[in-house]
Amino acid sequence: MEAAAIIATVRATTSTTLQARTLCLLWKDAPRDVYRLRDDLDTCKSFLDSLESSIIESSFLDELQDDRGAGRGINLQREALRVLLSRGTNVANSLGDILVELIGEPEDTSSATSAGEKPEERLARRKKLLWLRRVENVTKLRKLLRRTTDDIALCLTMLNV
């Protein structure tokens, strides 16, 4: 169960991290918070990648899945880990949805522009307006992502993994 949750969280975070990197490449004059989001996602992805590799390289799964003789506290920690991983997946997916919206569809650069505005300027202005509508939600999700990652690490420490 934990392995599937870890893999789902890694996939969601990887996808969202790639979207954040894409947005940073496409939107050269993006606000600093976009780059901070990308950095937070990179940090979370690195942590989850190391967690996933520890599953492959060790008896991590055996330790988590051996319910025989496990006390109530250990079972509660395992359940907490599952909940945290689910939360991490949901947060990554929510951020991914916002990033996809910001990346948007490529526009036809040959279309007529108003008042001599370049297509790139119009696209940057549209992204900025969309970002301003989403920045409060993104800030909350960034904080939740960091807190969830920290809580996963704490939970694993409490499980002595």
pLDDT of the chain, 161 residues: tens digit per residue:
577 888 899 999 999 999 999 999 988 888 999 999 999 999 999 999 988 887 766 655 555 555 555 566 667 788 888 899 999 999 999 999 999 999 886 554 445 455 666 767 777 888 899 999 999 999 999 999 999 999 999 988 887 75
Report pLDDT for 112. 47
Please provide residue 141's backbone torsions phi and psi, each rounded to the nearest 5 degrees.
-65, -40
pTM of the model: 0.81
Report pLDDT for 107. 54
Q: Say how many domains are in the chain.
A: 1
| Full domain range(s) for residue 69 | 2-158
Closest residue by Cα to residue 48 from 151, 149, 155: 149
Give the count of alpha carbons within 13 A of 53, CB side only.
6
Sequence-separated (6 or more) residues with CB below 8 Å from residue 130: 101, 102, 104
